[in-house]
């Protein structure tokens, strides 16, 4: 993502610290906030399953660092094809977020590029934050020195919110919109829809608009019809 993109496209509005529902991840949230705003804060390595909030925290950190006057870059490595070239092209930023670094494991040139970037960032005072599904010791890297460098970061394994916590978040967010989600609706939704919190909140936005347009409450029949017509 380049500096030419509008800020809201580079760092989506929902991917901010104030929208991160920490649950058991309060310590990780505090460490990432410190890294984004304090030049001498320790580098952070986040691991966790899909939907645990890794990308959310990385984008929130980029936004906060940008707001603090730092130049930033975010690399979603799983979405990039030329990992070696992408990493070699990173330069001139004061804060760099590297998402899904497990995507380059086994690519020797890309691993060397990340190793060089790590060392260069240390020398230049650039802040780095990493995210992957597994901890450094479990990455299938061919470069032991890279695993050692990554292992030296402050590490947190994020825990995804459980269903009860997701339900509470949805209820709170719905209430802010003047929507009442009763337990029958939530039971039906959680039995038939993706449980990733981001997907659920996106659905809530769409339901809010649809219910306003139809002048109807969000009930199970309304939800069933909406999802069927939405495809």
Range(s) of the domain holding residue 168: 163-230
Last-in-domain residue among 114, 133, 157:
157
Last residue of one domain, picked from the residues 129, 157, 185: 157
Dihedral angle computed from the Cα positions of residues 205, 7, 71 and 102, in that order, rounded to the nearest 10 degrees: 40
The number of domains in the chain is 2
Q: How far apart are the C-alpha atoms of 87 and 65, rounded to whole Å?
A: 20
Instruction: Sheet with 72-76: list strands edge to edge.
Output: 72-76, 95-99, 127-132, 44-47, 154-157
Q: Give the tens place of pLDDT for each residue, 127-152.
A: 999 999 999 999 999 999 999 999 99
Question: pLDDT (tens digit, 9 = 90+) per residue, 80-115?
Answer: 989 999 999 998 899 999 999 999 999 999 999 999
Domain assignment present for residue 2? The answer is no
């Amino acid at each position: 993502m380049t500096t030419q993109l509008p800020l809201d496209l580079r760092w989506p509005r929902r991917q901010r610290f104030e929208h991160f529902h920490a649950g058991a991840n309060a310590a990780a949230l505090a460490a990432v906030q410190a890294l984004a705003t304090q030049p001498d804060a320790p580098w952070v390595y986040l691991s966790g399953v899909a939907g645990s909030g890794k990308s959310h925290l990385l984008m929130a950190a980029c936004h906060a660092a940008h707001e603090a006057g730092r130049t930033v870059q975010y690399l979603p490595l799983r979405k990039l094809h030329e990992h070696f070239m992408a990493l070699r092209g990173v330069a001139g930023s004061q804060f760099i977020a590297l998402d899904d670094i497990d995507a380059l494991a086994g690519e020797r040139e890309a691993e060397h590029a990340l190793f060089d970037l790590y060392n260069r960032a240390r020398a230049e005072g650039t802040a780095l934050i990493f995210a992957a599904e597994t901890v450094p010791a479990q990455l299938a890297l061919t470069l032991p020195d890279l695993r050692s460098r990554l292992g030296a970061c402050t590490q947190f394994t994020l825990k995804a919110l459980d269903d009860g916590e997701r339900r509470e978040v949805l209820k709170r967010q719905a209430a802010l919109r003047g929507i009442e989600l009763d337990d029958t609706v939530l039971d039906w939704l959680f039995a038939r829809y993706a449980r990733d919190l981001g997907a659920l909140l996106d659905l809530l936005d769409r339901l809010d608009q649809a219910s306003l347009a139809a002048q109807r409450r969000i009930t199970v029949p309304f939800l069933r019809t909406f999802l069927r017509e939405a495809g």
